[in-house]
Structures are given as structure tokens and as C-alpha cells.
Amino acid sequence: MLTNTGVAKITVKETTKPTVPSTGTYVEVSYLGSYSGSYGPDGALTIARDSGDRVYAIENANGTVRAKFQKQDSSTKHDLTVQIWKNGKAVKYASNSSAYGIVSIQYP
């Protein structure tokens, strides 16, 4: 026979949002759950599979930069957001709250 003799302790660790450097080109992806996608300059896309808030550096970002990410779950309560940053400024932004939602952006 199982008995409950106390209260369970749960520790919640808050994560800090990653900082985008002030020089260079980056893609920032934010979603509570898992996502996958690709990012980078035309012809040299990098594949990513992750969760949470992440900042990915884009090397050789001359010309058009693309980012396409998709939620890996059916949640409609949280947005998947994707931003392209250039020299410390957000230059493109999009979000999607749909189940298995896709965000696709490019700059310029």
C-alpha cells in the first residue's frame, strides 16, 4: 500500500533569454516546445533541431538570408517566433501559433 507522507518539492529553473551580439547576422528562434528548421544564406543552409530560446550565428551572410522553422507539436497556446538580426537590429520578424505551425522569413 502506498501512502503520501508529505508534499513533493518542485524546483523551477528560469532561463535567461540569449543575447544577440551587436555585430554580425543572427537568427533568433523562440518556442517553449521543440522545433526544427533551417537557416542561413542561399545555398548554405544549416539544419537545426532544438527547443526554447536560441540564437544562431550566420556565417558569410552576404546576400539573402533565410530562416524556416516548424513546431514539432500541436500546441496552439504558444507562438513560434523567428527573427533575423543584423548588426544588433531586428530586421525581419514573424510568428505562428498554429499547431505544427511554420515560420518562413528572409532578408533582404
**Which residue from 52, 75, 79, 57 is spatially nearest to 67, judged by alpha carbons?**
57
Give pLDDT, residue 7.
73
Total structural domains in the chain? Answer: 1
In a domain, 5, yes or no: no
pTM for this prediction: 0.85
Full domain range(s) for residue 49:
25-107
C-alpha cell recorded at residue 38 = 533551417
Average pLDDT over residues 3-10: 68
Is 3 among the domain residues? no
Parallel, antiparallel, or unpaired for β 80-86 and 25-41? antiparallel
Residue 23, CA distances (Å) to 20, 31, 63, 86 in order: 9, 24, 16, 7
Query: Would 14 be classed as within a structural domain?
Result: no
User: Does residue 47 fall inside a structural domain?
Assistant: yes
Reported as a single tens digit per residue, the pLDDT across 54-92 is 999 999 998 999 999 999 999 999 999 999 999 999 999
* Residue 14: pLDDT band with limits 50, 70, 90: low
> Is 19 inside a domain boundary?
no
Domain assignment of residue 13, yes or no:
no
Q: What is the pLDDT of residue 6?
A: 67
Residue 18 lies in a domain: no
Q: Does residue 2 fall inside a structural domain?
A: no
